[in-house]
């Protein structure tokens, strides 16, 4: 497991082409100049790509017509290519399978609700954390995504919403969750870059509040501390899934390195520094972690803390020996937490028929 984390460099082997979304505004100017373009082209292109959400250079009419294509290819190479789009919930859930420059596949899911539009994005191709109930975990880590490869998923979702392709018509992308493929904290620098691009004002970024960004982690303690040190009000979600180390070791193998106490201590510190309530994610697996004893143990860990528990009914992966909890067990579990004054919700199972529920991005095509 140690190797998996420290192999971050190794997993960056096949680097994708650079793109303006890899850089802040100042670096972008230098990037353009290094490519033999006038520095101000970076600013012009940023206004189209981030400001107007346009990736169609025909619309970039303030650039000389004969040079538009070349400039677009140099500054905004196409990093994610749409391979397949699947819709559910009457078009309110849209899962896109993207092909990267080296043929690897990733997915993102756009979900429209009455009061918000959320995109669930991937931070890695595959994942090295090996959680046995997770589809992404089964295939191991292929490589880290670059900042621009992650930002491009967000930009594409924002464009889809803005163009009125969701049933309700044109809407603004409001929320971003790092709950797709991969462990965001194992690709920390690219994820931090992405957070900046998301929340910086146009043309530097997309101008979406950092408060509306959720980073979900399996619990890489040093990186939770690093995220706190950034001082951004990003929401942290911690995938706990079990109330004892003995059980968590089997569901979340990295627990052997960062046991529950360390993960929760870092989480409470994060809540204090960021001023944001931490979410605890807990996949409800029948007879495994969903009994009265588990609920009581969990309540003992969380009582009195600034926390919100998100129960996720297990979405079984093909061939899985596990299945989702019985409704009665789920209900009892919720009641026990509520009796301890712990805020708890059961996550809705959006897009299950297309394996589009967050954290359950299908490995079927990969």
Please list the active-site residues: 107, 358
Residue 58 C-beta: closest distance to ligand SAH, Å: 37
Cβ proximity to ligand SF4: between 137 and 205 the closer is 137
In the bound state, the residue with its beta carbon closest to ligand SAH is 359
The footprint of ligand SF4 on this chain (CB under 6 A) covers a number of residues equal to: 11
Per-position x/- string for 202-241, each x denoting binding to ligand SAH as judged by CB under 6 A, each - no binding: --------------xxx--------------------x--
Residue with tokens 């969990």: 298
Contacting residues for 344 by C-beta, under 8 A, at least 6 apart? 308, 309, 310, 311, 334, 337, 338
The only residue of 191, 218, 228, 334 in contact with ligand SF4, by rule CB under 6 A: 218
The only residue of 76, 155, 317, 325 in contact with ligand SAH, by rule CB under 6 A: 317
- Confirm if 308 and 272 have CB atoms less than 8 A apart: no
How many C-beta atoms lie closer than 10 Å to residue 115's C-beta?
Answer: 6
Stretch that binds ligand SF4, among 53-61, 129-137, 199-207, 222-230 (CB under 6 A): 129-137
The answer to whether 134 contacts ligand SF4 (rule: CB under 6 A) is yes
For 77, half-sphere exposure in the C-beta direction (CA atoms, 13 angstrom radius) is 14
Residue 202 C-beta: closest distance to ligand SF4, Å: 31
Cβ proximity to ligand SF4: between 239 and 274 the closer is 239
Instruction: Note the residues at the interface with ligand SAH (CB under 6 A).
Output: 127, 131, 133-134, 179, 183, 216-218, 239, 281, 283, 312, 314-315, 317, 358-360
Instruction: Note the residues at the interface with ligand SF4 (CB under 6 A).
Output: 127, 129-131, 134, 136-137, 182-183, 218, 239
């Amino acid at each position: 497991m140690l190797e998996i984390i420290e192999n971050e460099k190794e997993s960056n082997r096949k680097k994708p082409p650079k793109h303006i979304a890899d850089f802040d505004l100042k670096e972008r100017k230098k990037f353009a100049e290094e490519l033999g373009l006038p520095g101000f082209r970076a600013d012009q292109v940023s206004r189209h790509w981030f400001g107007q959400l346009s990736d169609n250079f025909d619309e970039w009419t303030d650039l000389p017509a004969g040079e538009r294509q070349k400039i677009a290819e140099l500054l905004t190479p196409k990093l994610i290519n749409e391979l397949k789009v699947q819709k559910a919930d009457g078009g309110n859930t849209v899962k896109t399978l993207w092909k990267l420059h080296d043929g690897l596949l990733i997915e993102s899911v756009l979900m429209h609700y009455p009061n918000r539009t959320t995109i669930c994005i991937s931070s890695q191709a595959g994942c090295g954390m090996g959680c046995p109930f997770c589809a992404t975990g089964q295939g191991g880590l292929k490589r880290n995504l670059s900042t621009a490869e992650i930002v491009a998923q967000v930009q594409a979702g924002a464009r889809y919403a803005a163009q009125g392709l969701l049933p309700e018509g044109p809407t603004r992308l409001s929320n971003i969750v790092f709950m797709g493929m991969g462990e965001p904290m194992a690709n920390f620098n690219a994820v931090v870059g992405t957070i900046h691009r998301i929340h910086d004002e146009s043309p530097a970024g997309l101008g979406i509040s950092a408060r509306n960004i959720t980073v979900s982690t399996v619990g890489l303690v040093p990186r939770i501390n690093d995220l706190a040190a950034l001082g951004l009000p990003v929401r942290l979600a911690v995938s706990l899934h079990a109330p004892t180390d003995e059980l968590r070791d089997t569901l979340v193998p990295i627990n052997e390195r960062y046991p529950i106490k360390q993960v929760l201590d870092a989480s409470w510190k994060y809540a204090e520094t960021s001023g944001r309530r931490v979410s605890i994610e807990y996949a409800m697996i029948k007879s495994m972690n969903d009994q009265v004893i588990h609920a009581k143990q969990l309540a003992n860990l969380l009582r009195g803390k600034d926390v919100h528990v998100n129960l996720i009914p297990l979405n079984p992966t093909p061939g899985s020996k596990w299945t989702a909890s019985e409704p009665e067990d789920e209900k009892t579990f919720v009641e026990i937490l509520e009796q301890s004054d712990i805020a708890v919700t059961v996550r809705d199972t959006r897009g299950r028929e297309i394996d589009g529920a967050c954290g359950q991005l299908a490995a079927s095509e990969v």
